[in-house]
Amino acid sequence: MSNLANELAELDKLIHEPARLVILTALSAVDSADFLFLQNLTGLTAGNLSGHLTRLEEANLINVRKEIVGKRPKTTLSLTQTGRKAIDQHWQRLNELRTKTQASASQQS
Amino acid sequence: MSTDLQTARFVARHYHALQGLVLVPVGAFLVLFGLGTWLGWENFQQGNCTLPSIILPVVILLTIAAARYYRQRFGEVHRATTPKEIWAAIIGIIGWFVLAMVDMTFLQNIPFSFTMLGMVTFCCMIPFASEGKRRYYFGLAFLLVCFAFLPAFNIVNKMDLFSGQWLGNLAIGLALVIGGLLDHWMLTRLFAPVQEAEA
């Protein structure tokens, strides 16, 4: 069991944080989404969401494109290739951990 | 943070399909057209297209306004349509057209509206295409099947109560209005309420 705990601890904290995991999961299902959509989806305040996006951008997991549309600023976000690969691998690891946990639970019972 | 990961993925994938208010003006137009033909309103009879041709641009404007509302209120999502979805839409439209032709040409004496079967199939396919969600479309499919059997009353009553195009327009219009409103309700329910900034 301690092995599983170690593996859980080794999960990438940058991706595994709940809000960032929702953002990356949503972006992995589309080509791109704007800031307003992600704000509605996550329920985060603009400042909070902006902070998470900055961290993801710094890690080269997402692309942030800012433009002015009809005198209004518009921020469009999409996953980078690294980001897409990272979220896929993260889900794969989570699935493997779930399978291992289920197997060890059935062995104990 | 109250959104779970499955919901996030579902909303992102089906965001455009869940924009139900876009369908409501089209559905309302069909309901109005069906009622107008049924009740014999002068402006909706064959050959008199003045009122429908005035209403149609309004319907298009309302549809554009609804799409704009979603863009400005809930944001935008870009997702490349897969060729599979395009083929499904083309096959659906051709199938519907064939059913309508068969219904109009060969099945006029059969007390069942075969044209509506296209919409019934469409309603039944939506929950499967939406990862098992939007199951209310099964209810709408059932409603449409009930409507499709209404011409049978003509034989029982020996009256011409439920024949003609109006029945299809009314039923399909109602399905679009109800389905659209339910889709909108689902979308607004799935979005997490935005948290207030901490003081």
Q: Which two tokens stand for residue B116?
A: 């509506």
The answer to whether the Cβ–Cβ distance between A19 and B75 falls below 8 Å is: no
Our CA angle for A8, A11, A16, nearest 5°, is: 110
Q: How far is A21 from chain B, CA to nearest CA, in Å?
A: 8
State residue B159's pLDDT score: 61
The answer to whether the Cβ–Cβ distance between A29 and B13 falls below 8 Å is: yes
Residue B32: C-alpha distances to residues B28, B56, B172 (Å): 6, 11, 11
With an 8 Å Cβ cutoff, is B13 touching chain A? yes
pLDDT tens per residue across span B96-154: 777 777 766 766 666 566 667 777 877 887 887 777 788 888 888 888 888 777 766 66
Domains belonging to chain A, first-starting first, are 3-94 (1.10.10.10)
- Report residues of chain B scoring pLDDT below 50: 198-199
State residue B81's pLDDT score: 66
With an 8 Å Cβ cutoff, is A6 touching chain B? no
Q: How far is A62 from chain B, CA to nearest CA, in Å?
A: 15
pLDDT tens per residue across span A59-109: 999 999 999 988 888 999 999 999 999 999 888 888 888 888 888 877 777
The answer to whether the Cβ–Cβ distance between A43 and B8 falls below 8 Å is: no
CA dihedral (B184, B79, B90, B114) in degrees, to 10, reads -20
ipTM of the complex: 0.83
| CA B130/CA B87 separation, integer angstroms | 17
Residue B190: C-alpha distances to residues A1, B76, B173, B196 (Å): 36, 16, 26, 18
pLDDT tens per residue across span A4-60: 666 666 667 788 888 999 999 999 999 999 999 999 999 899 999 999 999 999 999
Residue in A with minimal Cα distance to B75: A37
Among B15, B79, B192, beta carbon nearest to A43: B192
* CB A80, CB A63: distance < 8 Å: yes
* CB B138, CB B124: distance < 8 Å: yes
Best of B194, B195, B196, B198 to disrupt the A interface (most A CBs within 10 Å) is: B194
Q: Position of tokens 């940058």?
A: A14
Task: From chain A, pick out residues whose CB is under 8 angstroms from the CB of B76.
Answer: 33-34, 36-37, 76
